[in-house]
Amino acid sequence: MAGILVWAEVSNGEVRKASREAVAAGSKLAQMSGAPLAAVVCGDAPGAAETLGRLGAAKVFTAAGPGFEKYSSEAYAAAVAEAGQRFGAEIYLMSATALGKDLAARLAAKLDAALASDVTDVRWDSKPLTVIRPVYSSKLLATVELLSEKKVITLRPNVFPLGPERDLSAEIVPISAETNIRAQVLQALKAAEGAIDVTEARVIVSGGRGVGGADGFKVVEELAKTLRGAVGASRAAVDAGWIPYKHQVGQTGKVVSPVLYIACGISGSIQHFAGMGSSKFIIAVNTDKDAPIMEKADFAIVGDLFKVVPILKEELLKAIAK
Amino acid sequence: MNIAVLLRQVPDTEAKVVPDPDLRGRIMESEIKFILNPYDEYAVEEAVRIIERGGLAPGGQVPGGAGGLPLSGGGGEAVGFCIGPDRAETALRSALALGLARAVLVSDPAAVEADVVTQGRILAAAIKGFAPSLILAGRELIDTQEDALAAVVAHFLDIPHVLGAGKITLDGEKAVVLREVEGGSLEIAASLPAAVSCSKGLNEPRYPSLMAIKRSKAKEIRKVSLAELGVQSGPQKSRIAELKAPPPRAAGVRVEGEPAVVAAKGIEWMADVAKVI
């Protein structure tokens, strides 16, 4: 039976949450099809193999040592391909993180595989394996049948549920692979302490044109901090220079899937919706009751964000203190 | 020193896209305005600036070889490479107006309808004879929402790649690229030749002048077929079985009134419905 192999991304020695979601999805797929499940980890990550075993991987391939300390699409793709060959993998899963998508692209080319990226749903019992992914700025959903023998799939973070950790252990299989690294990570620059990336946040508080300026973002930032969430922004706010591009959510920014997205002073263009439409819950605060975002929000507050948002923050602090 | 820029024509971001009831996996094209993929503008701008600065210092090139296009000639050109139907010419004209020297369009339906890995292999074949030192692309195609193309082309040309560049510094033998990842950014040095996809923030794309638009009309768009490139599209890797609009979000709650009152209702909703508190 052809196997399912998950690339587990490690950050600070731990398997990323997004990768644990991918393992859970792999585990579900394995249960539905009877296929065996394995994982592959690159770089030095003591404990990662154990975690992956508890999540359901029967085998964990590990590629460590020179060439694997830092991410390299070439070395990592070689290692994943090597693990896949040893395991007899047909389905390669990983999370659609920045590096997951980077690796998936190289790997799919290397394996001459069908590639489906940023997948938001899987038809678990389909044959050929069929996945759902957003296209045309999330205005449409494509149901894609993967016809090639080998398939590389990246899963959108925060969309697939985490699986249970059980009292299981994996067989650990060290592997090596050719590491002809021509694109070398020189250094990793961390974002400011405490700053949460919008793509990883459970809660995002975003500001748009209605925020009015860089100073106006303070109320947005304070609410985000209170909710231990990330700060997002619309293109209008970024283009006006009020906040850096890395906060931009939307078609030309980031695609996010938080549990809660709070849009403050954002009209909600189709391009913005392309980036946050898959949020589980949306709250909008806007003075314009006819703004498109108000139609799409689960909870729409008609009002001045500068009056409402600070009260939200205060009330939250009280609610949390209780 | 040549720079290849991967281009794509996509529906305008404002366009209303509707699945075509007769053509599976396709959208109704009749009412749609097509544009150059927005991210491609950053790639074109970067390529044109590099050429304007006097090109790259002598460095690695993709070795030209049999099967490639006999395109080389002149020192230092930025040339666009595109897979798309005939209508894609308008997008290529926009890229030419932004400063590319010329463009190559692969318009065989078999190429246009192929998956991203196959398209990357086809583009690699088209680019090979051009022997570029750098291949630039937009970070993502906004129609298929794929960001793999630059990496796939790189694989088939056996060169390194970096995706999502926010900054590119060239020193003749390598490109040092800053790219964002979750929680920070990575500084990556790629030996040339290399393929790099470009993110917003890399530069501020220019608006073409009237003169530039006029001049672009005389620039060459060369159409090539898969047969001329000596490649085949190969077996279909994936197929869109259905294209449909996502289910509409259920109507939400709307509150209006005193800030303190609506905020209190909001908190209650966050706790009871969204359960984030």
CA–CA separation, B22 and B19 (whole Å): 9
Could you tell me if B53 lies within 8 Å of chain A, comparing CB atoms?
A: no
Helix (H), strand (E), coil (C) string for chain B: CEEEEEECEEECCCCCCCECCCCCCCECCCCCCEEECHHHHHHHHHHHHHHHCCCCCCCCCCCCCCCCCCCCCCCCCEEEEEECCHHHHHHHHHHHHCCCCEEEEECCHHHHCCCHHHHHHHHHHHHHCCCEEEEEEECCECCCCECCHHHHHHHHHCCCEEEEEEEEEECCCEEEEEEEECCEEEEEEEECCEEEEECCCCCCCCCCCHHHHHHHCCCCEEEECHHHHCCCCCCCCEEEEEEECCCCCCCCEEEECCHHHHHHHHHHHHHHHHCCC
pLDDT for res B209: 95
User: Which chain A positions have a beta carbon within 8 Å of B191's beta carbon?
Assistant: 182-183
Task: Name the residue among A112, A185, A311 with its Cβ closest to that of B188.
Answer: A185
Interface list for A 71-110 with B (CB within 8 A):
71, 73-74, 97-99, 101-102, 104-106, 108-110
Q: Could you tell me the residue ranges of all domains in chain A?
A: 3-174, 203-321
Mean pLDDT of B211-225: 97
Could you tell me if A252 lies within 8 Å of chain B, comparing CB atoms?
A: yes
Check CB contact under 8 Å for B276 and A202.
yes
Could you tell me if A287 lies within 8 Å of chain B, comparing CB atoms?
A: no
Task: Name the residue among B25, B115, B262 with its Cβ closest to that of A303.
Answer: B262
Contacts of A65 (CB under 8 A, 6+ apart): A176
Q: Rg for chain A (alpha carbons), in Å?
A: 21
Q: Is the pLDDT of residue A22 over 70?
A: yes
Task: Name the residue among A116, A139, A308 with its Cβ closest to that of B263.
Answer: A308
pLDDT for res B63: 52
Check CB contact under 8 Å for A259 and B276.
yes
Other beta carbons within 10 Å of A98: 22
Check CB contact under 8 Å for A101 and B163.
yes
Burial of A316 (0-12, 13-18, 19+ CB in 10 A): buried
Give B11's Cβ-side CA count (13 Å radius): 24
Confidence of residue A192 (pLDDT cuts 50, 70, 90): confident
CA–CA separation, A20 and A259 (whole Å): 17
Q: Rg for chain B (alpha carbons), in Å?
A: 22
Could you tell me if B256 lies within 8 Å of chain A, comparing CB atoms?
A: yes
Question: Which segment of B8-12, B33-37, B64-68, B143-147 scores lowest on mean pLDDT?
Answer: B64-68
Task: Name the residue among B27, B162, B269 with its Cβ closest to that of A183.
Answer: B162
Picking from B13, B29, B238 by the largest number of A CB atoms within 10 A of its own CB, the best residue to mutate is B238
Q: Do A3-174 and A203-321 come out as alike in CATH topology?
A: yes
Sheet of A281-286: strand order equals A230-233, A203-207, A260-264, A281-286, A299-302, B253-256
Q: Is the pLDDT of residue B89 over 80?
A: yes
Domains of chain B, first to last: 2-229 (3.40.50.620)
Is the backbone peptide bond immediately before B193 cis, with ω within 30 degrees of 0?
A: yes
Q: Is the pLDDT of residue A41 over 60?
A: yes
Amino acid, res. A65: G
Q: CB of A19 within 8 A of CB of A40? A: no
> What percentage of chain A has pLDDT greater than the value 70?
100
Contacts of A69 (CB under 8 A, 6+ apart): A43, A44
Mean pLDDT of A280-290: 97
Amino acid, res. B172: G
pLDDT digits (tens, 9 = 90+) for B114-143: 999 999 999 999 999 999 999 999 999 999
pLDDT for res A295: 92
> What percentage of chain B has pLDDT greater than the value 90?
84
B265-to-A271, A318, B18 alpha-carbon distances in Å: 29, 14, 38
Q: CB of A235 within 8 A of CB of A250? A: yes
Check CB contact under 8 Å for B155 and A106.
yes
Phi, psi of A195 (to 5 degrees): -75, 130
Give A303's Cβ-side CA count (13 Å radius): 24
Could you tell me if A11 lies within 8 Å of chain B, comparing CB atoms?
A: yes
Which SS3 state, helix, strand or coil, does residue A188 take?
Answer: strand
Could you tell me if B49 lies within 8 Å of chain A, comparing CB atoms?
A: no
Picking from A136, A180, A189 by the largest number of B CB atoms within 10 A of its own CB, the best residue to mutate is A136
Which SS3 state, helix, strand or coil, does residue A50 take?
Answer: helix
Q: Is the pLDDT of residue B57 over 80?
A: no
Is ipTM beyond 0.90?
Answer: yes
Task: Name the residue among B117, B156, B271 with its Cβ closest to that of A319.
Answer: B271
Could you tell me if B272 lies within 8 Å of chain A, comparing CB atoms?
A: no
Q: Is the pLDDT of residue B67 over 90?
A: no
* Tokens at A111, concatenated: 């394996």
pLDDT digits (tens, 9 = 90+) for B151-181: 999 999 999 999 999 999 998 799 999 999 9
The CATH number of the domain covering residues in A203-321 = 3.40.50.1220
Which helix (DSSP H) or strand (DSSP E) does residue A98 occupy? helix A98-111
Could you tell me if B246 lies within 8 Å of chain A, comparing CB atoms?
A: yes
Distance in Å, alpha carbon of A113 to nearest chain B alpha carbon: 7
Q: What is the mean pLDDT of chain A?
A: 95
Check CB contact under 8 Å for A143 and B190.
no
Q: Is the pLDDT of residue A108 over 50?
A: yes
Check CB contact under 8 Å for B147 and A105.
yes
> What percentage of chain B has pLDDT greater than the value 70?
93
Please give the CATH superfamily to which domain A3-174 belongs. Answer: HUPs (3.40.50.620)
User: Which chain A positions have a beta carbon within 8 Å of B120's beta carbon?
Assistant: 109
Could you tell me if A280 lies within 8 Å of chain B, comparing CB atoms?
A: yes
Check CB contact under 8 Å for B255 and A300.
yes
* Tokens at B118, concatenated: 């196959």
Task: Name the residue among B13, B184, B267 with its Cβ closest to that of A137.
Answer: B13
Packed helices A217-226 and A305-321: angle between N→C axes, nearest 10 degrees: 20
Q: Which residues of A147-159 are buried (b: 16+ CB within 10 A; e: fewer)?
A: ebebbbbbbbbbb
Q: CB of B127 within 8 A of CB of B4? A: yes
Q: Is the pLDDT of residue B62 over 60?
A: no
Could you tell me if B204 lies within 8 Å of chain A, comparing CB atoms?
A: no
CB pairs A-B closer than 8 Å: 267
Distance in Å, alpha carbon of B172 to nearest chain A alpha carbon: 15
CA–CA separation, A282 and B125 (whole Å): 46
Distance in Å, alpha carbon of A160 to nearest chain B alpha carbon: 17
Could you tell me if B167 lies within 8 Å of chain A, comparing CB atoms?
A: no
User: Which chain A positions have a beta carbon within 8 Å of B145's beta carbon?
Assistant: 117-118, 133-138
CA–CA separation, B123 and B105 (whole Å): 10
CA–CA separation, B40 and A189 (whole Å): 26
Check CB contact under 8 Å for B244 and A141.
yes
CA–CA separation, B6 and A306 (whole Å): 44
pLDDT digits (tens, 9 = 90+) for A194-203: 778 898 899 9
| Strand A89-95 with A151-155, pairing | parallel
Q: Give the residue from chain A lying closest to B143, CA to CA.
A: A136
Of A16, A106, A92, A107, residue with least CA distance to B190: A106
pLDDT digits (tens, 9 = 90+) for A70-83: 999 999 999 999 99
Check CB contact under 8 Å for A140 and B244.
yes
Q: Which residues of B40-76 are buried (b: 16+ CB within 10 A; e: fewer)?
A: bbbbbbbbbebbeeebbeebbbbebeeebbebeeeee
CA–CA separation, A79 and A62 (whole Å): 9
Interface list for B 6-45 with A (CB within 8 A):
11, 13-14, 16-17, 19, 25, 27, 38-39
CA–CA separation, A62 and A176 (whole Å): 8
